[in-house]
């Protein structure tokens, strides 16, 4: 059965399209990289890094050391060359002894520990709520859900963080009862896989994930509800009803399947941000993720880290776009990729 399943799935994958789009992506990516590198060089990053006591000679030496004295095209070629072989070994300017790969790579785990559960839960809950809202369209349940969604998204992310951290991280504590950490993080390597999953992750990450879900849910629910309502008014729904299909089947089979394209679009737009994380959550909860690394690098004028995270993010965005288009074709046979 599983062989059949994989064969069927593989048969739906538009391989030619993927190859062609990948080839198209290369010049786009090269263009993005050039733009990124140009923007980061508009103002010389070296004096900002070297600080107030540096002499002009010291600034020039640093420029030579990091290769910023070379012609732009050479720098560009060198950076592209390194990226093409996944060489992220360039040393951070601020954290001497640590490579950019080490900084970014070290942050990906903690970031994904927050963003993947948050995105998964947000999507599941939002789609479910929007289905309920669409089911009860125009009635009190629908209006209440929309009201709560608007209310949820009207409150600043920071308020949720500050209030959540205070009440659930601090005020709820009593003796040994401390369900959520005020802040902090432990990696799987430090804790071990099972302790990490069963106690460390919930202790350190569940509260920020809950906050992230609550904040995102408002936006997602409103959007998905609109999609569901629109789909519920289509002809095929009327036809299904005319044929005597069960309302639940109409809702969860016919409607949900056809509403998947906007859902996929919205989810896939979020995927690149899974890597960059939420710097606000990471800063307040002291989770050493990529978002925090990026903000720290920007604040400290850590040029190689900023440049590399920018390049990685651009790549993630392009790949996600490609995957989204492929998924469209797979879930909706009406979509024909040319």
Minimum distance from residue 127 beta carbon to other proteins (Å)? 12
87, 144, 198, 239: which one contacts other proteins (CB under 8 A)?
Answer: 198
* Residue 58: burial class (beta carbons within 10 Å; 0-12, 13-18, 19+): middle
18, 41, 148, 183: which one contacts other proteins (CB under 8 A)?
Answer: 183
Between residues 31 and 179, which has the closer beta carbon with respect to other proteins?
179
Mention every residue, 6+ apart, whose C-beta is less than 8 A from residue 325: 17, 21, 337
Classified as helix, coil or strand, 91 is strand
Minimum distance from residue 19 beta carbon to other proteins (Å)? 31
Between residues 176 and 235, which has the closer beta carbon with respect to other proteins?
176
Measure CA of the first residue to CA of the last residue in the chain; give whole Å. Answer: 31
197, 230, 238, 337: which one contacts other proteins (CB under 8 A)?
Answer: 197
| Residues 55, 53: Cα–Cα separation, whole Å | 7
Classified as helix, coil or strand, 189 is helix
> Both tokens of residue 67?
């290769």
Tell me, by CB under 8 A, how many residues bind other proteins.
73
> Both tokens of residue 151?
């209310």
Q: For residues 295 and 280, is the Cβ–Cβ distance under 8 A?
A: no
Q: Does 178 bind other proteins (CB under 8 A)?
A: yes
Q: Which stretch binds other proteins (CB under 8 A): 98-106, 224-232, 303-311, 320-328?
A: 98-106
94, 265, 270, 321: which one contacts other proteins (CB under 8 A)?
Answer: 94
The gap from C-alpha 280 to its chain's centroid, in whole angstroms, comes to 14
Q: For residues 142 and 230, is the Cβ–Cβ distance under 8 A?
A: no
> Both tokens of residue 125?
């809950």
Site residues for other proteins, 200-219, by CB under 8 A, read: 200-204, 206
Q: For residues 14 and 20, is the Cβ–Cβ distance under 8 A?
A: no
14, 117, 208, 310: which one contacts other proteins (CB under 8 A)?
Answer: 117
Site string for other proteins, 1-40 (x = CB under 8 A): ----------------------------------------
| Residues 17, 72: Cα–Cα separation, whole Å | 34
Minimum distance from residue 270 beta carbon to other proteins (Å)? 18
Note every long-range contact of 133-141, with CB atoms under 8 Å and residues 24 or more positions apart, other chains counting.
133/221, 133/225, 133/228, 133/229, 134/225, 134/228, 134/229, 134/231, 134/232, 134/251, 134/255, 135/251, 137/229, 137/232
Q: Which stretch binds other proteins (CB under 8 A): 6-14, 136-144, 145-153, 287-295?
A: 287-295
39, 162, 269, 337: which one contacts other proteins (CB under 8 A)?
Answer: 162
Site string for other proteins, 39-58 (x = CB under 8 A): ----x---xx-xxxxxxxxx
| Residues 337, 46: Cα–Cα separation, whole Å | 47
10, 16, 85, 176: which one contacts other proteins (CB under 8 A)?
Answer: 176
Q: Does 91 bind other proteins (CB under 8 A)?
A: yes
Q: Does 62 bind other proteins (CB under 8 A)?
A: yes
185, 224, 303, 328: which one contacts other proteins (CB under 8 A)?
Answer: 185
Between residues 81 and 179, which has the closer beta carbon with respect to other proteins?
179
Q: Nearest-CA neighbor of 66 among 80, 79, 51?
A: 79
139, 143, 173, 336: which one contacts other proteins (CB under 8 A)?
Answer: 173
Q: Which stretch binds other proteins (CB under 8 A): 15-23, 30-38, 242-250, 312-320?
A: 242-250
Residue entry with tokens 């941000």? 273
């Amino acid at each position: 059965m599983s062989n059949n399943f994989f064969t069927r799935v593989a048969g739906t994958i538009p391989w030619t399209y993927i190859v062609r789009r990948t080839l198209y992506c290369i010049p786009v990516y090269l263009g993005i990289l050039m733009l990124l590198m140009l923007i980061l060089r508009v103002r010389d990053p070296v004096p900002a890094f070297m600080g107030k006591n540096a002499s002009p000679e010291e600034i020039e030496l640093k420029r030579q050391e990091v290769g910023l004295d070379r012609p732009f095209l050479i720098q560009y070629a060198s950076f592209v060359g390194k990226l093409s072989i996944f060489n992220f070994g360039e040393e951070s300017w601020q954290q001497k002894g640590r490579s950019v790969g080490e900084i970014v790579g070290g942050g990906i785990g903690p970031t994904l520990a927050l963003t993947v559960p948050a995105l998964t839960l947000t999507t599941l809950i939002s789609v479910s709520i929007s289905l309920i809202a669409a089911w009860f369209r125009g009635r009190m349940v629908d209006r209440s859900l929309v009201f709560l969604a608007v209310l949820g998204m009207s409150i600043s992310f920071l308020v949720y963080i500050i209030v959540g951290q205070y009440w659930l991280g601090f005020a709820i504590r009593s003796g040994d009862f401390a369900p959520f950490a005020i802040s902090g993080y432990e990696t799987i390597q430090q804790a071990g896989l099972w302790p990490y999953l069963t106690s460390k992750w919930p202790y350190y990450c569940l509260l920020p994930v809950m906050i992230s879900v609550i904040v995102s849910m408002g936006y997602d629910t409103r959007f998905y509800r609109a999609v569901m309502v629109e789909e519920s008014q289509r002809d095929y729904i009327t036809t299904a009803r005319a044929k005597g299909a069960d309302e639940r089947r109409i809702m969860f089979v016919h409607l949900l399947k056809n509403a998947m394209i906007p859902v996929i679009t919205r989810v896939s737009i979020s995927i690149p941000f899974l890597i960059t994380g939420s710097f606000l959550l990471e800063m307040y909860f002291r989770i050493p993720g990529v978002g925090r690394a990026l903000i720290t690098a920007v604040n400290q004028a850590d040029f190689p880290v900023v440049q590399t995270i920018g390049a990685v993010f651009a790549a993630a965005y392009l790949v996600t776009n490609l995957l989204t288009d492929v998924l469209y074709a797979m879930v909706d046979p009406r979509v024909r990729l040319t």
